[in-house]
């Protein structure tokens, strides 16, 4: 596989930087149980990485029109906020080291999440990450959620970096599809869901954790621009 040159890195949030997908799944199950519904794993996997409007549509389709999806969504948010307030949000292994590596080379960084802005900012603040990114784009900032490319294209535009020079780090099928549609360089770091073969085929690389992502990007960066690394500063 050919190596890459890149000028910026765009991060997904839930499941990629934050160990929050398990928390969200538990919150969804608690919420749905109040109305007598069970959330199968294969249904939850379909909503990972999706915007709220798409998540609700998937749940209606899978669980039936009797589900009061708006009320269930608000209950899920309540349970998730409650868990965050009590326990905080765990960071994925290797995240801080990766951010430090990119900072040392002055590589621009963005967050591109399907989650609504208020909750993105809350999660990043709780995790101590709010100041680590140049740009933050959220699900309610763009017309279409992942797997549409909108959120990634908006992040690249705000960074001032061509789409083809952006590495995207993602854990979800929808995220990899969106990054590929944006013409970016998708790197997959699976979380709860093992990736399907067709998703792996869209990814430039697949790594088990951000630890290996850091080593890979560091190998491309070398010792810095003066040493002929593959990083090209934005203009």
Query: For 181-228, what is each residue's pLDDT tens digit?
Result: 999 999 999 998 888 999 999 999 999 999 999 999 999 887 443 332
Q: SS3 of 166, please?
A: strand
pLDDT tens, residue by residue, 25-82? 889 899 999 999 998 888 888 888 777 888 899 999 999 989 999 999 899 889 988 9
- pLDDT at residue 192, rounded to an integer: 81
Residues spanned by CATH 1.10.150 within the chain?
21-87
Q: What is the pLDDT of residue 51?
A: 76
End-to-end CA distance of the chain: 28
> Known catalytic residue: 41?
no
pTM passes above 0.75? yes
- pLDDT computed for residue 103 by the predictor: 96
Query: What pLDDT does residue 52 have?
Result: 80
Distance from C-alpha of 230 to C-alpha of 63, rounded to nearest angstrom: 48
Domain made up of 21-87: CATH architecture:
Orthogonal Bundle (1.10)
Could you tell me what percent of the chain has a pLDDT over 70? 93
Q: For Cα atoms 179, 152, 3, give the angle at the middle one, nearest 5 degrees.
A: 45
- Please state the CATH superfamily assignment of the domain spanning residues 8-19+90-227 in this structure: HAD superfamily/HAD-like (3.40.50.1000)
Catalytic, 12? Answer yes
* Average pLDDT over the chain, rounded to an integer: 89
């Amino acid at each position: 596989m050919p190596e890459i040159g890149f000028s910026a890195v765009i991060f997904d949030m839930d499941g990629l930087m934050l160990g929050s997908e398990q928390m969200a799944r538990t919150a969804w199950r608690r919420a749905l149980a109040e109305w007598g519904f069970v959330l199968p794993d294969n249904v939850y996997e379909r909503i990972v990485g999706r915007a709220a409007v798409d998540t609700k549509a998937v749940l209606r389709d899978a669980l039936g029109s009797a589900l009061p999806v708006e009320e269930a969504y608000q209950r899920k948010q309540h349970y998730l906020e409650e868990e965050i307030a009590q326990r905080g949000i765990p960071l994925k292994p290797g995240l801080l080291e990766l951010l430090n590596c990119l900072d040392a080379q002055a590589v621009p960084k963005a967050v591109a999440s399907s989650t609504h802005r208020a909750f993105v900012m809350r999660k990043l603040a709780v995790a101590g990450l709010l100041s680590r990114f140049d740009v933050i784009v959220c699900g309610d900032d763009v017309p279409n959620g992942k797997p549409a490319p909108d959120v990634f294209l908006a992040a690249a535009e705000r960074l001032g970096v061509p789409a083809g020079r952006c590495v995207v780090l993602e854990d979800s099928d929808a995220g990899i599809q969106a990054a590929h549609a944006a013409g970016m360089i998708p790197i997959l770091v699976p979380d709860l869901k093992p990736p399907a073969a067709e998703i792996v085929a869209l990814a430039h690389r697949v790594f088990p954790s951000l630890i290996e992502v850091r080593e890979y990007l560091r190998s491309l960066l070398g010792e810095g621009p003066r040493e002929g690394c593959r990083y090209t500063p934005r203009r």
